[in-house]
Amino acid sequence: MTMTTETISQTEQQLVVFDLASELYGVDIGVVREIIRMQELTQLPQTSFYVEGVINLRGKVTPVIDLRKRLSLPVSEQDEDTRILVVDVEDQDIGVIVNSVVEVLRISSGSIEPTSSVMTLADSSNLLGIVKLDDRLIILLDLAQALSEDDMDLASYQAAVEAYNQKGLKAAEKVEAKAEEEPGVEEKPKTQAKDESRSESKAKAKTRSASKSKSDAESEREQAIDTEPEEQNEQEPAVELNFELLEQSFAKLAPRGEEFVESFYDRLFDMYPEMKPMFAKTDMKKQRKKFLESMVLVVNNLRNPDVLGPALANLGERHKELGAEEAHYAMVGDALLGTFEEYFEDDWTPELKSAWSDAYDAVVAGMTA
C-alpha cells in the first residue's frame, strides 16, 4: 500500500500493521522510520537474549532485537516475508524483527477499545488497546514503552554498539570469541489452615534439602566404588513436561495474574523471611511485573527450547548477580507451588501439581546449567 502525505484528521490515526506469532499488531506510523528486508546481522557479546545483533544502516550502526522474544511470544523460522522495522525510540534508531508487514492502515479513534486482562497478562503497559475492524482485531502496541530504556535495559547493548563503533567489527568479534572460550559463569538466580499449610511446606522443603544432600553424598560414594565406565556415564532421562496441561491451567490463571504474583511474594516472605534482604533495594512493583513476564515467557515457549534456553540462561545470570543460591530456588519453588494450590483450589490435582513441579525443576535447571 502506498503511503500518502495528506493531512490526517484529529479523529484518525495511521498505523503500520504487522504479524507477530500469527496475531496482528499495529504501531503509530510516526515512530517507524523505514521497513527493510531481513539481512545479515553482526552478533555482539554480553547482550540480552532478545538482542539479535547490529546492522550497518547507511553508515550508522543500528541494534536489532527480535520483538517476538521481547514480548515473550513464540518465535518461528525467518522466511522471505520476515522484515525489520526501523523505529525511533527516545531519539535512537532500533531495528525490530517481525514475521511480516501487512499494510499501512488508517483508523478512527472510535474503533480502539481497551484490552482485556487476559490479553494484557504479559505487560499491560505495552498495549494501548484493540482495534476492532469488520473481520479482524489488531493489537495496538506502544513501542516506545516496550522498547524503553527503563523497561528493556537498552544500556546492555548500547555499550556493545559503542564498542563496535570505536574498535570496529574485528575487535568485537575477538571479544565475542574470547567470551566463548572462557568458562561459563553460573547464574544467580487467610486463615489458620493456610498458616498450617505454609508451615508444612516449609518443613517439607527442609526435609527435601537434607534428603538431597544425603542423596548427593550416596551418589558420590557409588560413583567412587563403581568400576564400570558405562554405568558411570549413565544419566537420568529428561523429564517430559505436560505441555498441554501447563498451557491450559495457566490460561485459567491468566485473568488473575497480577493478583497471583502478589500472593506469591507474600507467601514467600512469610515462609522464608530470610529472602527479604535480597529484595531490600528492589522496586517490588517492577519485580512482580518481571516475575509475571517470566512466567508468560516460559509457558509461551515450552515447545520452543531455542528461545526458552537462552532466555533462562539470561534470567539465571541476573539472579546470581542478586545473590541467588541453590537453597533459594527450593524456597521459591515451595512458595510458588503453594500459591498454585491456593488459586487452583479443587483443580489442584496430583497430576497438575506434578506438571508444575516438573516445569519448575526444568526452569531452575535452565537457569543454573
Half-sphere exposure at residue 18, Cβ-oriented, CA atoms within 13 angstroms? 23
The mean predicted confidence, pLDDT, of the chain is 74
Q: Are residues 154 and 262 in the same domain?
A: no
Q: How confident is the model at residue 198 (pLDDT cuts 50, 70, 90)?
A: low
Higher per-residue pLDDT: 246 or 113: 246
Q: Are residues 308 and 258 in the same domain?
A: yes
Q: What per-residue confidence (pLDDT) applies to 286?
A: 83
Is residue 341 over pLDDT 80?
Answer: yes
Q: Are residues 66 and 159 in the same domain?
A: yes
Q: Are residues 53 and 175 in the same domain?
A: yes
225 within a domain of the structure (yes/no): no
Q: What per-residue confidence (pLDDT) applies to 237?
A: 43
User: Which CATH number do you get for residue 69?
Assistant: 2.40.50.180
pLDDT tens digits, 112-142: 877 664 444 445 567 888 888 877 888 888 8
Q: What per-residue confidence (pLDDT) applies to 7?
A: 40
The arithmetic mean of pLDDT across residues 318-338, rounded, is 87
Higher per-residue pLDDT: 316 or 195: 316
Q: What per-residue confidence (pLDDT) applies to 311?
A: 82
User: Which CATH number do you get for residue 305?
Assistant: 1.10.490.10
pTM of full prediction above 0.75: no
Q: Are residues 49 and 155 in the same domain?
A: yes
Comparing 54-68, 120-134, 244-258, 295-309, the range with the smallest average pLDDT is 120-134
* Strand arrangement of the beta sheet that strand 60-66 belongs to: 32-37, 83-89, 92-98, 60-66, 51-57
118 within a domain of the structure (yes/no): yes
Number of domains in the chain: 2
DSSP codes of every residue in 11-69: TEEEEEEEEETTEEEEEEGGGEEEEEE----B--SS--TTEEEEEEETTEEEEEEEHHH
Report which secondary-structure segment, H or E, holds 127: strand 127-132
135 within a domain of the structure (yes/no): yes
The answer to whether 50 and 97 have CB atoms below 8 angstroms apart is: no
DSSP-assigned letter for residue 99: S
221 within a domain of the structure (yes/no): no
What cell does 223 get? Answer: 560413583
The arithmetic mean of pLDDT across residues 165-194, rounded, is 45
The boundaries of the domain holding residue 250 are: 192-216+239-368
The answer to whether 258 and 292 have CB atoms below 8 angstroms apart is: yes
Q: Are residues 135 and 272 in the same domain?
A: no
Q: Are residues 281 and 305 in the same domain?
A: yes
DSSP-assigned letter for residue 302: T
264 within a domain of the structure (yes/no): yes
Q: Are residues 254 and 106 in the same domain?
A: no
226 within a domain of the structure (yes/no): no
Percent of the chain residues topping a pLDDT of 70: 68
231 within a domain of the structure (yes/no): no
The arithmetic mean of pLDDT across residues 188-215, rounded, is 48
Q: Are residues 95 and 211 in the same domain?
A: no
In degrees and rounded to multiples of 5, residue 5 shows phi and psi of -110, 10
Q: Are residues 164 and 208 in the same domain?
A: no
Q: Are residues 166 and 199 in the same domain?
A: no
Question: In 82-234, which residue ranges form alpha helices assigned H by DSSP?
Answer: 143-146, 149-152, 155-181, 192-225, 229-232
- How many Å apart are CA 250 and CA 254, to the nearest integer? 6
Q: Are residues 269 and 128 in the same domain?
A: no
Q: How confident is the model at residue 353 (pLDDT cuts 50, 70, 90)?
A: very high
Report which secondary-structure segment, H or E, holds 97: strand 92-98
pLDDT tens digits, 57-105: 887 888 898 888 888 778 888 889 999 999 988 788 899 999 999 998 8
CA angle 155, 158, 160 (to 5 degrees): 115
Higher per-residue pLDDT: 178 or 354: 354
CA angle 254, 143, 123 (to 5 degrees): 15
224 within a domain of the structure (yes/no): no
The one-letter amino acid code at 69 reads K
The domain boundary, picked from 180, 207, 225, lies at 180
